[in-house]
Amino acid sequence: MDKKRVKILMAKPGLEGHWRGMIAVSSAFRDAGFEVVYGGNILPPEIAATALQEDVDIVGLSILSSNYMRLVAETIKELKARGKGDVMVLLGGIIYEEDFPALKEMGVAGIFVPGTPLKDIVDFVNEKMSAPAHKGHKTHRAK
């Protein structure tokens, strides 16, 4: 089987400027051998367009303001509209626990709050990407 590196788009939908967490997570993903496309602050349509163009396996979103429900829903809608509905969506930031079920229902695969060890996020990705349930992907566990 071809062993393509896991490719991740990291982005902040909307204009809120707290990027510290995203920089830390991006760096951990690179250290783990994933290929990271750093999108920075871009709006949901641009996130979907970039995800398509870069053919990423995962879209990692970082949101530290309280409008994440709307921004995540918009991003997933745009991904689906561009035929990238199969991409794995991860969400990090200040996310209320009571919203976890609704976000998962929307299609978010993993939610990570501040203080999550970076290793746990990397392990989560490795596990998900190697799971047989995750169909439609040509990727495998990164080294």
Partner 1 sequence: MAENKDGQVYTASGIPVKDIYTPDDVKKVDYNRDLGSPGQPPFTRGVYASMYRGQLWTIRRLTGYSTPEDTNKRYRDEYAMGQTGFSIAPDISTAAGMDPDDPRVSADVGHSGVPIYSIEDMEVVFDGLPIEKCSTYLADRVGGLLSPAYFIMAEKRGIPLNYVRGTTPNDLFTWSSMDLANQPPPDAYVRYAVDFIEWCTEHAPRWYPVSFNSYNPRDNGLSAVQEVGGLMATVIQYVDEEKRRGRIPLNKFVKRFAFNMAANNDFFEEIAKFRAARRMLYRLMKDRYGIDDPTCGQLRVHVQTSGSTHTHQEPLNNLVRIAYQVLAGVLGGAQSIHANGYDEAVCLPTEEAMLLAIRTEQIVALETGVTNTVDPLGGSYYVESLTNELEERAWDYVKRIEDVGGMAEAVKSGWIHREYKAAIIDYERKLDAGDVTVVGVNKFRLEKPPYKVPIFRPDPKSPDLLIERIKLLRKNRDNARAAAALKEYERAARSTENTVPAIFEAVKAHATPGELAEVQLRVTGGWTYPIAG
Using CB under 8 A as the criterion, which residues of the chain lie in contact with partner 1 when the complex forms? Answer: 10, 12-20, 22-24, 26-28, 36, 38, 40-41, 43, 65-67, 69-71, 74, 94, 96-98, 113-115, 117-119
Residue (3 or 20) nearer to partner 1, CB: 20
Residue (3 or 30) nearer to partner 1, CB: 30
Q: What is the dihedral of CA 117, 93, 6, 35, to 10 degrees?
A: -90
Least distance to partner 1 from the beta carbon of 132, Å? 29
Least distance to partner 1 from the beta carbon of 57, Å? 17
Residue (39 or 87) nearer to partner 1, CB: 39
Angle, helices 20-31 vs 118-130, to 10°: value is 50
Residue (40 or 83) nearer to partner 1, CB: 40
Give the whole-angstrom CA distance, residue 113 versus residue 106. 18
Helix (H) or strand (E) holding 88: strand 88-93
Contact 74, 97 (CB under 8 A): no
Least distance to partner 1 from the beta carbon of 143, Å? 19
Least distance to partner 1 from the beta carbon of 139, Å? 20
